[in-house]
Each structure stands twice: as structure tokens, then as C-alpha cells.
Amino acid sequence: MKKCMNCEKELEGRVGKKFCSSYCKSNYHYARRKDKEDSFFKTVDKKLKLNRRILKNYNRAGKATVRAEVLTKHGFDPNYFTHYWKNKNGVVYLFCYEFGFLSFRDAKGVKKFTLIKWQGHMAN
């Protein structure tokens, strides 16, 4: 016997029936749609939280410089950030919540990140 796709109760009635009631049918489709909608949000949120955790871990003093390979090894993705701040010289720092970063290459061509923490004067 076939079972309801939502509650797995045994089905009675016509051959092609998939749900035991209109409630189960509605609940099943609502849950599937909700999972699809949330998947993008959950992915982005997860990446932002991971980025923040990594930046926090490597920036305990308020300002630091770290090789890009060190951060990316832990899963840091600079394409995910919450906002940006442009200093008076026009340099743009990207932020994951209160932890910011600036990508640059040193004199030897090694990619690095300058890490900073959000300060009150940056709000202006």
C-alpha cells in the first residue's frame, strides 16, 4: 500500500493518491517551498558567520596583517561581507559585522589581508 507523502499514513481511495488529506498536501508543499527559500539565506548566513569567526580569531589586537592563504585555509571567503567603509584616503575596507579586512599584495607579490575592528569614528 502507498503512504501519505507528509505523514506516512496508509492511503485509501484512488490509485494515484499521494496525500491523505488537503492539510497534509498543503503542509508538504509548504515545507518544501520553505526549505528552498531558506537554503540561499542559510548559505550566505553560514558564510558570513564563518568569515566573522575567522577574522575575530586572527584580529585579537584590533589591527593585524595576515597572509590570505592562512585565512582561506580556514574557509574565509572575501566575497561575503556585510558592509564597507571608505577611509579619508579612499581605501575601501570590507566588513563582516564588526571585523573588517583589506586585500593587498606586499612587495614580493604575496596576497595578504589587513584586519581591523570597527571603530566609532567610522560611522561618520
Ordered per-residue pLDDT tens for the chain, 124 residues: 689 999 999 998 888 899 999 999 999 999 888 767 667 888 899 999 999 999 999 999 989 999 999 999 999 999 999 999 999 999 999 999 999 999 999 999 999 999 999 998 888 6
The single-letter DSSP state of residue 101 is E
Q: What are the residue ranges spanned by the domains of the chain?
A: 22-123
Residue 57 grid cell: 580569531
Residue 16's φ and ψ, nearest 5 degrees, are -85, 10
- DSSP readout, 54-89? HHHHH-SSSEEEEEHHHHHHTT--TT--SEEEE-TT
Residue 68 grid cell: 590570505
